[in-house]
Chains A and B, each alone.
Chain A
Amino acid sequence: MISQQLHQALVDCLGPEGVVSERTQLRTYEMDALTGHRQVPGVVVLPESKEQVCAVVRLCRDAGVPIVPRGAGTGLSGGAMPREDGVLIVLSRMRRILAIDPENQRAVVEPGVTNSAISQAVAAHGLYYAPDPSSQMVCSIGGNVAENSGGAHCLKYGFTTHHVLAVEIVLSDGEVVTLGDSVLDPPGYDLRGVFIGSEGTLGIATSITVRLLRVPEAVRTMVADFDTPARAGDAVTAIIEAGIIPAAVEMLDSLAIEACEDATGAGYTRGIGAALVVELDGPEAGIDESLAAVETLCRNSGASKIRLAESDHERALIWKGRKAAFAAMGRLAPNYFVQDGVIPRTQLGRVLERMAELASQAELRVANVFHAGDGNLHPLVLYNGSNPGESERAEKLAADIAELCVEYGGSITGEHGVGVDKACSMPKMFSADDLATMLEVRQAFDPAGLCNPDKVFPTPRLCGEIPGPYRPHPLEEAGLIERM
């Protein structure tokens, strides 16, 4: 609950149209795209400028009230889940493009601008913003910065952190600072790099300077059919070892193909073990040679059929099929949990086997779509929430799968973030000291602990009194000390 006094101060500062406090309206903000975690916020504010963000943050600071930033609410880890006793700061009204410098290939935008809107705004200059989460039509650049979002084309071009040069932020004490610069290597610690991916726990981004890329001259897209995902994985390793860096390499397993075909009729072959989508881009010169090399490498790894997109239309259809994967799951089951674990590429075969074992033990089905180039899996755990106990079993299986990835040297999350969803799995990946060190950094940005509390780090509130067992201390792992 928010005090009457704070509520009035917020209204004075933003006007009645900038403050949402009516119960039914508040409910539209109770969750992000992770639908299992809900909380009606104390109050929602819709600032239109940096000054308004600052003013709101100062009021919250003075009242000792937590703040939760929110962009478009497409997050898949509950990062924007509100607090009942907090203020949800929604940045979607701050959607101005502040500057475009086509010569130097940079743009400055407000945090509520959608990912696609940046590319649209600079398209006339032959430029675009490279990281492309599947949610790009809707998600905000502020959310992308907070999550260090990726996308299908990040294999060649990198993630959000590689494309954001500077971020202006409002700290939880109301101070405004810019991290990074539009020129490279500003002196001092790279706080920009620390802020990106901090999931709204270090401050609120109010303006973002992005790097733009030249739209590639040529694009080639193909789909290769394989018996098993492991074989498709071998092909990926062979391609990358050959020095070819495709723009994107995506994989769908048989269950995912089934769902995507039902939903879009994109032309994937039903009944095969795995489909590999490989996209090359770059200068026209040499691209067909690279394509031929990729084809050969796929065949050498056992591809049974290879289809080249003959037209832009066909290419768009292939991507429509791939990007519809999450939505298409509705055809296989009423509900699903999406996981986001990452594994070393070469472990793909073994991890998928273990995953299948876990799934059959839990008596649930798991479909897989993934960013195969960088080993980022998106297992979709299918379930029917109306069957008693099934959603709990599914949630447990999803967490087991994330932790399986850590066992194979990977990560619990490649792009969706930790949020509330995976906070309790963090001890599997990090020791108590690792997390304590991160918390020291959090304190440096947000000493009062008001900025998006209860996210990312395991707390008794989220995970019970004992969040561990933690990953062993590195000295234990190395056999140099024993558990004390």
Chain B
Amino acid sequence: MADPTVPGADVTRPTDLLQARDVMREGHERGAGLLICGGTTKLDWGRPPQGVERIIDTTGLDRLIEHDPGDMTAVVGAGMPLGQLQDRLATAGQWLAIDPPRNAPVDLLRVLPTTVSTRAPSLPSLSGQSSPDQAERTATVGGIFASNDSGPRRLRYGSLRELVIGMTVVLPDGTVARSGSKVIKNVAGYDLCKLYSGSLGTLGLVVELIVRLHPLPDTSRTVRVPAASNSATALVLALMASPLEPTAVEYNGDELFIRFDGSDVHTSEQSKRTLDLVASHQLDCALIPDEQQAALWEELGQAHAGGDGKSTLRIAALPSRLHAVTSMIRQVAEQARVDVALASHACLGLHTARLAGGGAAQHAALIERARARMGEIGGHVVVRSKISGLDELVDPFGPPPPSLSIMRRVKQRLDGKSRCARGRFIGGL
């Protein structure tokens, strides 16, 4: 199955569970290193994986296996592009309620400096197989799950972690294991889906996911509030303390955007009351015209995307620390002479800082300073996309959590030969 165009590197694209199992267990005895990739949009997250001998391309596992509109669940191949899935579900008026940003595919050469091949493998051009061209790849459901990426509307629906109710994985030794079921409510056995969400492909290959769906909302309304970060913070806390039920609250450093989804009555009443609440804070505000909403939310979502020659940081803090995080980032950006754009999921306390300009050393200095400041603010900084050279200077995960010892034992138990993206994860797992 070796790709003739790439000496030394195997690229395999299983199209069903049997092939997936065989591909995984091949080379297990000698501990052959694996890298799983879907849309390849997140391959630079974590540390660069070591000793990759084989790339497993999941895009052949791309079927919508079952869609049950009445029960609002679907069984999806992990390699199915999210966009394709959403199109299919939309025909029944439903969607998988996640809206992560779109990242550009990552250049494999950058991710695999230590692959056995002297040339980096390229994903397309598999003889006789129709793998998508790398430039046309988009994020897969499995990839989004494995990176637990999320977008503005996580506030209402949770991240994909909360929407996955069952899964089938193949462990590196070829063991096929399921967890969960097709029903939303289920406590039989351990919830291993949680373990694989955010695992960055380090515990095995996710082949299938069972997901909970939501009806597409009839209407959306968005209120825009220009506000400096201290008054934005006060407003965010007031919003959380109010009976309002926004689906997303985004802050870009200058303006706060408050979104409601649902029936026409619901969104119009909620947005009206939001206008009142904002007025009581002595701030201006306006309702975004309907026809501008789609473009606005596209832009607000993409403000969290990585890639494009920028380094991307994910900062987490309590919602009440919005102002503190905003000012801290401004200060460390100034000190490190790096341009930083900050985008915040304000009520969730999640922020994306995109670093442009400056070299790896400056980005590293900024990250060090930001981490030091998070001590007093409370929270953490994780590096996602990285400009080249940054990998050698910072640990993307920061100081390991106290539970690292258990994480190490989990990795040891499920991937004892450390085949899956060796070294990529926290603590070098």
On whether the beta carbons of A445 and B186 are closer than 8 Å, the reply is no
Q: Residue of B at shortest CB range from A473?
A: B176
Contacts of B406 in A (CB 8 A): 171, 177, 179, 191, 444-445
On whether the beta carbons of B189 and A426 are closer than 8 Å, the reply is yes
On whether the beta carbons of A184 and B349 are closer than 8 Å, the reply is yes
Contacts of B129 in A (CB 8 A): none
On whether the beta carbons of B189 and A158 are closer than 8 Å, the reply is no
In the assembled complex, how far is the CB of residue A387 from the closest CB belonging to chain B, in whole angstroms? 31
Contacts of A181 in B (CB 8 A): 316, 380, 401
Interface of chain B residues 26 through 74 with chain A (CB within 8 A): 68-73
Is A46 in contact with chain B by the CB < 8 A criterion? no
On whether the beta carbons of B175 and A243 are closer than 8 Å, the reply is no
Is A39 in contact with chain B by the CB < 8 A criterion? no
Determine which of B183, B199, B426 lies in contact with A343 in the assembled complex, contact meaning CB atoms within 8 Å. B183
Contacts of A375 in B (CB 8 A): 71, 183-185
On whether the beta carbons of A148 and B191 are closer than 8 Å, the reply is yes
Determine which of A178, A197, A242 lies in contact with B215 in the assembled complex, contact meaning CB atoms within 8 Å. A242
In the assembled complex, how far is the CB of residue B274 from the closest CB belonging to chain A, in whole angstroms? 11
Determine which of A101, A184, A186, A409 lies in contact with B182 in the assembled complex, contact meaning CB atoms within 8 Å. A409
Interface of chain B residues 163 through 221 with chain A (CB within 8 A): 168, 171, 175-179, 181-195, 197-199, 203, 214-215, 217-218
CA gap between A282 and B158 in the complex, in Å: 18
Per-residue interface assignment for chain A, residues 432 to 455, with 1 indicating a CB less than 8 Å from any chain B CB and 0 otherwise: 011111101111110100000000
Contacts of A447 in B (CB 8 A): 409
Per-residue interface assignment for chain B, residues 397 to 411, with 1 indicating a CB less than 8 Å from any chain A CB and 0 otherwise: 110111111110110
Is A143 in contact with chain B by the CB < 8 A criterion? no
Is B319 in contact with chain A by the CB < 8 A criterion? yes
On whether the beta carbons of B218 and A243 are closer than 8 Å, the reply is yes
Is B245 in contact with chain A by the CB < 8 A criterion? yes
In the assembled complex, how far is the CB of residue B410 from the closest CB belonging to chain A, in whole angstroms? 4
Is B242 in contact with chain A by the CB < 8 A criterion? yes
On whether the beta carbons of B185 and A371 are closer than 8 Å, the reply is yes
Contacts of B113 in A (CB 8 A): none
Identify the stretch in A23-31, A324-332, A475-483 within 8 Å (CB) of chain B at 4 or more residues: A475-483
CA gap between A418 and B176 in the complex, in Å: 22
Contacts of B240 in A (CB 8 A): 103, 105, 214
Given contacts A374-B185, A411-B188, contact A285 B270 (CB under 8 A): yes
CA gap between A345 and B400 in the complex, in Å: 43
Is B1 in contact with chain A by the CB < 8 A criterion? no
Q: Residue of A at shortest CB range from B240?
A: A105
Q: Which of A285, A443, A480 has the most CB of B within 10 A?
A: A285
On whether the beta carbons of A147 and B243 are closer than 8 Å, the reply is no
Determine which of B70, B191, B199, B217 lies in contact with A237 in the assembled complex, contact meaning CB atoms within 8 Å. B70
CA gap between A217 and B244 in the complex, in Å: 9
In the assembled complex, how far is the CB of residue B138 from the closest CB belonging to chain A, in whole angstroms? 23
Contacts of B403 in A (CB 8 A): 177-179, 188, 191
On whether the beta carbons of B263 and A283 are closer than 8 Å, the reply is no
Given contacts A188-B426, A243-B215, contact A437 B192 (CB under 8 A): yes
CA gap between A243 and B273 in the complex, in Å: 22
Is A359 in contact with chain B by the CB < 8 A criterion? no
In the assembled complex, how far is the CB of residue A191 from the closest CB belonging to chain B, in whole angstroms? 6
Determine which of B21, B158, B171, B316 lies in contact with A186 in the assembled complex, contact meaning CB atoms within 8 Å. B316
Determine which of A106, A418, A444 lies in contact with B189 in the assembled complex, contact meaning CB atoms within 8 Å. A418
Given contacts A286-B263, A444-B413, contact A216 B177 (CB under 8 A): no
Is A58 in contact with chain B by the CB < 8 A criterion? no
In the assembled complex, how far is the CB of residue A317 from the closest CB belonging to chain B, in whole angstroms? 25
In the assembled complex, how far is the CB of residue B375 from the closest CB belonging to chain A, in whole angstroms? 13
CA gap between A159 and B378 in the complex, in Å: 27
In the assembled complex, how far is the CB of residue B280 from the closest CB belonging to chain A, in whole angstroms? 16
**How many residues of chain A are within 8 Å of chain B by beta carbon?**
97
Is A66 in contact with chain B by the CB < 8 A criterion? no
Is A162 in contact with chain B by the CB < 8 A criterion? yes
Given contacts A214-B243, A415-B187, contact A243 B262 (CB under 8 A): yes
Given contacts A162-B162, A440-B413, contact A434 B18 (CB under 8 A): no
Q: Residue of B at shortest CB range from A443?
A: B413
Interface of chain B residues 72 through 111 with chain A (CB within 8 A): 72-73, 93
On whether the beta carbons of A413 and B187 are closer than 8 Å, the reply is yes
Q: Which of A158, A185, A426 has the most CB of B within 10 A?
A: A185
On whether the beta carbons of A286 and B270 are closer than 8 Å, the reply is yes
Is A273 in contact with chain B by the CB < 8 A criterion? no
On whether the beta carbons of B17 and A475 are closer than 8 Å, the reply is yes
Is A104 in contact with chain B by the CB < 8 A criterion? yes
Is B412 in contact with chain A by the CB < 8 A criterion? yes
Given contacts A188-B426, A282-B243, A283-B270, contact A410 B349 (CB under 8 A): no
On whether the beta carbons of A433 and B176 are closer than 8 Å, the reply is yes
On whether the beta carbons of A285 and B273 are closer than 8 Å, the reply is yes
Given contacts A185-B314, A189-B199, contact A433 B177 (CB under 8 A): yes
Interface of chain B residues 364 through 416 with chain A (CB within 8 A): 378-380, 382, 397-398, 400-407, 409-410, 412-414
Given contacts A177-B403, A214-B242, A283-B243, contact A243 B192 (CB under 8 A): no
Is B266 in contact with chain A by the CB < 8 A criterion? yes
On whether the beta carbons of B21 and A241 are closer than 8 Å, the reply is no
Determine which of A106, A193, A194, A342 lies in contact with B183 in the assembled complex, contact meaning CB atoms within 8 Å. A342
Is A381 in contact with chain B by the CB < 8 A criterion? no
Is B318 in contact with chain A by the CB < 8 A criterion? yes
Interface of chain A residues 120 through 171 with chain B (CB within 8 A): 126, 147-148, 150, 154, 158-159, 161-162, 171
In the assembled complex, how far is the CB of residue B70 from the closest CB belonging to chain A, in whole angstroms? 4
On whether the beta carbons of B413 and A188 are closer than 8 Å, the reply is no
On whether the beta carbons of A188 and B397 are closer than 8 Å, the reply is yes
On whether the beta carbons of A410 and B273 are closer than 8 Å, the reply is no
Is B269 in contact with chain A by the CB < 8 A criterion? yes
Q: Residue of B at shortest CB range from A168?
A: B402
Is A353 in contact with chain B by the CB < 8 A criterion? no
Is A346 in contact with chain B by the CB < 8 A criterion? yes
Given contacts A286-B265, A438-B179, A480-B16, contact A417 B187 (CB under 8 A): yes
CA gap between A197 and B349 in the complex, in Å: 26
Given contacts A214-B240, A434-B179, contact A189 B407 (CB under 8 A): yes
Q: Which of A126, A181, A183, A447 has the most CB of B within 10 A?
A: A183
Is B237 in contact with chain A by the CB < 8 A criterion? yes
Given contacts A104-B320, A193-B194, contact A150 B185 (CB under 8 A): yes
Given contacts A185-B198, A411-B185, A478-B17, contact A197 B245 (CB under 8 A): no
Determine which of A126, A178, A426 lies in contact with B188 in the assembled complex, contact meaning CB atoms within 8 Å. A426
Contacts of B426 in A (CB 8 A): 187-188
On whether the beta carbons of B266 and A285 are closer than 8 Å, the reply is yes
Is A7 in contact with chain B by the CB < 8 A criterion? no
Interface of chain A residues 64 through 117 with chain B (CB within 8 A): 101-106
Is B112 in contact with chain A by the CB < 8 A criterion? no
Contacts of B243 in A (CB 8 A): 214, 216-218, 282-284
Contacts from A to B (Cβ < 8 Å) = 101-106, 126, 147-148, 150, 154, 158-159, 161-162, 171, 175, 177-179, 181-194, 196-198, 214, 216-218, 237, 240-243, 282-286, 289-290, 342-346, 371, 374-376, 409-418, 422, 426, 429-431, 433-438, 440-445, 447, 456, 473-475, 478, 480-481
In the assembled complex, 21 residue pairs joining A and B whose CB atoms fall closer than 8 Å, in A order, are A102-B241, A104-B318, A178-B403, A188-B397, A189-B195, A191-B407, A196-B191, A217-B243, A284-B243, A285-B273, A411-B181, A411-B185, A413-B188, A414-B187, A429-B181, A430-B178, A434-B178, A438-B192, A441-B413, A473-B176, A480-B17
Q: A198-B190, A478-B17 provided; 9 other pairs, C-beta below 8 A?
A: A189-B410, A216-B243, A283-B270, A286-B266, A374-B183, A410-B181, A415-B185, A415-B187, A444-B409
